[in-house]
A and B are shown apart, each in its own frame.
Chain A
């Protein structure tokens, strides 16, 4: 019996249009055309491909941020979270106030935020800065806070674009371990990445995207090999 399907994409295409362009012709751009694959519950799927191949656009479709122009996507009734660190931050507000804004944005409900706020602050570990406006933060501190909020969001599906974690060196090591643990648990995860070692370590399957298309799925090692050859060209 097949495992439960979380996403099922069938020939999905996305077309961007440029607004306010003087030339009326040629203002269409197909970021994706003909992407088909499915993701099952509990799997970790890697998406690899060269820059501009449409990987991030694909994540936006999975996150339900945009809808495909052609083809279909069937999604299970699940909560999906894109690992968007610091989404919805207002630099003029304090770290604590921003925890509420950003966590609400990422889909945590209000009571849960009240329940988790102390844990989030403890994980971020930025001391008294938590009550300072975040415009006074260093990039590292901001990354710590962003990661800590995202870490406590409990979604069925996690979508990760490029980096597993950001921030200063010390925090990055800790955060990477935490997120790897989360990925290896029964979460369904889709990771867009360039890092082959991450694919090897974490992914059950891998989808190669080339010029807006998904290539027919082959084994993990074959896909990686194909991707390496593609990059050399």
Chain B
């Protein structure tokens, strides 16, 4: 028996084709999601700006008037932390359930299951970029002028993306096996906001605590972004290197996990 083989399609060619299909699907789903999300509410796209501003308002009132925090430029300080943390928490929460929610679709057609978390990540990245731009506008309006250190911002954005994508994909890979994991995850995300230096400056803590907290790459991103935007200083190369290594590692683990169970997820009921 000779199993038919088509010589025109090498295995490298079909791999390239699979990646281009995934790329296009992520692109179209992201654009579609952004479009449809904006038609769901009256204010539409404006919510991408209102939402982070509203949560800034809540935290600002709490810390300024209840806990009497009086750091210089506290509102901006807080806003930078909130914007980055929201990118993390929003993407991980939505991403974690993404493969599980795609259960119906994956019964009908084959595609790489990383499509689900990747689309969530891209949608949230777009919103994150918009809010980062908003932060820069507000910083400038408050009289802190842009400096050359802004050139390091793209590096920090890529770093944030790596870490957030890695964690989201890992969570997405695990959740179909343990649906209860999502509830557990909510608690972790709640806890992490206090370990990421959103409300305080890690640099003011005892040295030992600083080292420990900087093991959290989100804390590093927040701290280094503040250095750039508030103080016009270049970020600490060593901290960035460690966080990038963590990000790359998380991303690789996540993609490997999804790839391993790629054809197993449709069987989970």
Say yes or no for B157: interface residue by CB 8 A criterion. no
Q: Within 8 Å CB of A41, what residues of B? A: 4
A63 touches B110 (CB 8 A): yes
B108 touches A64 (CB 8 A): no
Which among A18, A60, A65, A101 is the interface contact of B32 at CB below 8 angstroms? A101
Q: Within 8 Å CB of B32, what residues of A? A: 90, 92-93, 97, 101
Closest to B180 in A: A20
Which among B4, B35, B110 is the interface contact of A78 at CB below 8 angstroms? B4
> Roughly how many angstroms separate A82 CA and B20 CA in the complex, as a whole number?
20
Closest to B108 in A: A84
Scan residues 162-204 of chain B and give those whose CB is less than 8 A from a CB of chain A. Answer: 176-180
Q: Within 8 Å CB of A228, what residues of B? A: none
> Roughly how many angstroms separate A8 CA and B106 CA in the complex, as a whole number?
23
> Roughly how many angstroms separate A132 CA and B5 CA in the complex, as a whole number?
43
Question: Residue-by-residue, is B89-118 near A (CB-CB < 8 Å gives 1, otherwise 0)?
Answer: 000000000000000011111110000000
Are A16 and B107 also in contact (CB < 8 A) when A2-B1, A5-B1 are?
no
Q: Within 8 Å CB of B269, what residues of A? A: 16, 18-19
Q: Within 8 Å CB of A82, what residues of B? A: 108-109
Question: Residue-by-residue, is B130-147 near A (CB-CB < 8 Å gives 1, otherwise 0)?
Answer: 000000000000000000
> Roughly how many angstroms separate A39 CA and B166 CA in the complex, as a whole number?
42
Closest to A5 in B: B3
A60 touches B266 (CB 8 A): yes
> Roughly how many angstroms separate A19 CA and B267 CA in the complex, as a whole number?
10
B39 to chain A, nearest CB (A): 7
Scan residues 1-22 of chain B and give those whose CB is less than 8 A from a CB of chain A. Answer: 1-6, 9, 14, 17, 20-21
Scan residues 86-136 of chain A and give those whose CB is less than 8 A from a CB of chain B. Answer: 87-88, 90, 92-93, 97, 100-101, 104-107, 109-110, 133
Q: Within 8 Å CB of A92, what residues of B? A: 32, 36, 39-40
> Roughly how many angstroms separate A67 CA and B33 CA in the complex, as a whole number?
31
A14 touches B267 (CB 8 A): yes
A65 touches B263 (CB 8 A): yes
A61 to chain B, nearest CB (A): 10
B109 touches A84 (CB 8 A): yes
Are A19 and B28 also in contact (CB < 8 A) when A4-B2, A66-B267 are?
no
Q: Within 8 Å CB of B264, what residues of A? A: 66-67
B110 touches A19 (CB 8 A): no
A93 touches B36 (CB 8 A): yes
> Roughly how many angstroms separate A213 CA and B35 CA in the complex, as a whole number?
47
A93 touches B266 (CB 8 A): no
Scan residues 1-57 of chain A and give those whose CB is less than 8 A from a CB of chain B. Answer: 2, 4-6, 8, 14, 16-20, 38, 41
A125 to chain B, nearest CB (A): 24
> Roughly how many angstroms separate A76 CA and B20 CA in the complex, as a whole number?
22
Are A67 and B263 also in contact (CB < 8 A) when A77-B14, A82-B109, A90-B32 are?
yes
A111 to chain B, nearest CB (A): 10
B244 to chain A, nearest CB (A): 32
B108 touches A78 (CB 8 A): no
Say yes or no for B268: interface residue by CB 8 A criterion. yes
Are A77 and B9 also in contact (CB < 8 A) when A64-B110, A93-B32 are?
yes
Closest to A105 in B: B109
Question: Residue-by-residue, is A179-195 near B (CB-CB < 8 Å gives 1, otherwise 0)?
Answer: 00000000000000000
> Roughly how many angstroms separate A18 CA and B108 CA in the complex, as a whole number?
20
Which among A8, A16, A87, A104 is the interface contact of B108 at CB below 8 angstroms? A87
Q: Within 8 Å CB of A138, what residues of B? A: none
B107 to chain A, nearest CB (A): 7
Closest to B29 in A: A101
B4 touches A17 (CB 8 A): no
Say yes or no for A219: interface residue by CB 8 A criterion. no
Q: Within 8 Å CB of B17, what residues of A? A: 109
Q: Within 8 Å CB of B267, what residues of A? A: 14, 16-17, 66
Given A5-B3, A109-B20: 8 more A-B contacts, CB < 8 Å: A2-B2, A16-B267, A76-B6, A77-B5, A77-B9, A82-B109, A97-B35, A109-B17
Q: 5 A–B contact pairs at CB < 8 A?
A: A4-B4, A19-B177, A87-B108, A104-B24, A105-B111
